Amino acid sequence: MKHILLLLLGWGWATLALAQSPNPLLKGVIVYQSSGRQPAVGVSITGTVQGLEKATPTHTNADGQYQLEFPKARPGWRVALTVGAEDKAGQAIEVVNRSELAQCVLPNRADAVFKIVVCPKGARDLAAERYYNIILKSTDAALQRKNEQIDRLLQRRERDYASIGYLSQELARLQQQVDSVAIYREAWRLASINKDEASERTLDYLRRIEAGETIQEARQALDIEAATQQLQEELARVQSAIKELDTRAHASTTILDYRDALACLDSTVRHLEAHQDLISPLLVADYHHRIAQLYERLAAYDQAVVYGTKATEQWQRYHQDSLLAEGYHDLSRWHLQLGQASEGLAYGQQALALFEGVYPCDHPRLVRFYHTLALAQRYRHRYAAAERTARRACALAERLYSDDQVDRLDACGQAAAFAVEATQENTRQADYLGLYPHLEPLKP
């Protein structure tokens, strides 16, 4: 079955045969984006395994190939790669497929090749700016259609107030999820597609966007059913099919069609899970986390917890502490949304401990971690602890942000509110003990 040859794909792995043997070598190639697979010659590269062993730096040869040796390492160990800033001719370059580099592990196959895609530095900027304007227009159109649905319901003689209320809440939630950073991130992702490896349908999608079509119009070129069928075929077509499904999932997310995005990711994950012996579990974990985030956007927090847990189990197994910290933080938030304060508190504490062990003490993300943990402590009626945690968030926010920035206002507002609650709890305890000094303090 040819499709069993697959799938180290989302990582840039090209697999040539089924031979399996432990191998301390990382073999790969560096090519230019959308160039007809032009090799990048004379690019320096090195890597560190598990933070313990560093390979001797090398340069790509005339075919763009490189080889890094890690004598003490084992297959499955994560490799942190460092790619040089220019090629042999002095052309400044930048890595295109950074997300794949972040997931690189030593293969258990001697013939595996890890592909790195680069481009001239700054080459994607203009394309991303063009895509940004198209995506913004498409997102506005999606919100406008939702508004029009509500208007039509309001104009009916017999109004369906339940439907009106539901759509109004959904519109408010979608409006909160639209932000310029997320839109630019998707524009940058489109500018990073390597056309040398894209399916014809993906290329058609890009052509239609570049011709001025909205995302709603252009995504019709990306066929979920055809791409899913292609998953059963030969390796090269499977790779392009998964990238096509991924492109449609991102497109649907930008126009707030989360269920269509879920359909794309679900097709991919079912196929990946059927061949877990041939792929990196970290790739599957990444898809599980993306599915969990889509369920969060749909306010389906129970399903977000299910898929978020699957992702964190793999991140824990492979010691991905930075990802695990973020995953636990998400699980804490989702459990709190479900009213499960004990679970929310446990995950919040684990997330903070991991994050503080990986990142510096003034990292901006810590503000959010403190905020979530303080909420969990409050829901567990630990008012003094909640106040202390909230004050830590406020103190960090005051160092990082100006007076009128939202993150600072939120953090310090939370600290002030929790201080009031802690004072009220102290007063309640004092009054109780004053009346009944021989009894134990009140339990929250």
Residue labelled with tokens 């003990």: 433
Contact yes or no for 227/263 (Cβ under 8 A): no
By DSSP bridging, strand 113-120 and strand 25-32 are parallel
Q: Can you give the three-state secondary structure of 284-337, one letter per residue? A: HHHHHHHHHHHHHHCCCHHHHHHHHHHHHHHHHHCCCHHHHHHHHHHHHHHHHH
pLDDT at 333: 95
d(CA 27, CA 51): 19
Reference 316, options 305, 306, 325; nearest CA is 325
- As to burial, measured by CB atoms within 10 angstroms (0-12 exposed, 13-18 middle, 19+ buried), residue 162 is exposed
Q: What is the pLDDT of residues 148-191, one digit of tens each?
A: 776 776 676 565 656 656 656 666 666 666 667 678 888 888 89
| Inter-CA distances, 258 with 65, 142, 294, 368, Å | 40, 12, 6, 25
As separate numbers, helices (DSSP H) first and strands (DSSP E) second, the chain gives 16, 9
pLDDT at 237: 66
- As to burial, measured by CB atoms within 10 angstroms (0-12 exposed, 13-18 middle, 19+ buried), residue 291 is buried
Query: What is the CB neighbour count within 10 angstroms for residue 122?
Result: 9
Provide the residue type at 362 as one letter: D
Q: What is the pLDDT of residues 151-160, one digit of tens each?
A: 776 676 565 6
Handedness of CA 295, 296, 302, 306 (dihedral sign): positive
By DSSP bridging, strand 93-95 and strand 79-83 are unpaired
- As to burial, measured by CB atoms within 10 angstroms (0-12 exposed, 13-18 middle, 19+ buried), residue 89 is exposed
- Domains within the chain, CATH numbers bracketed: 2-122 (2.60.40.10), 125-191+198-279 (no CATH)
Query: What is the CB neighbour count within 10 angstroms for residue 374?
Result: 27
Which of 52-58's residues contact partners 24+ apart within 8 Å by CB, and which partners? 55/26
pLDDT at 210: 86
* CA-derived radius of gyration, the chain: 25
d(CA 287, CA 276): 13
Contact yes or no for 127/191 (Cβ under 8 A): yes
Residue labelled with tokens 């096509």: 244
By DSSP bridging, strand 25-32 and strand 58-59 are unpaired
Contact yes or no for 174/158 (Cβ under 8 A): no
Q: In the chain, which stretches have pLDDT less than 50?
A: 1-22, 432-433, 435-436, 439, 441-442
Contact yes or no for 268/287 (Cβ under 8 A): yes
By DSSP bridging, strand 13-14 and strand 25-32 are unpaired
- As to burial, measured by CB atoms within 10 angstroms (0-12 exposed, 13-18 middle, 19+ buried), residue 324 is buried
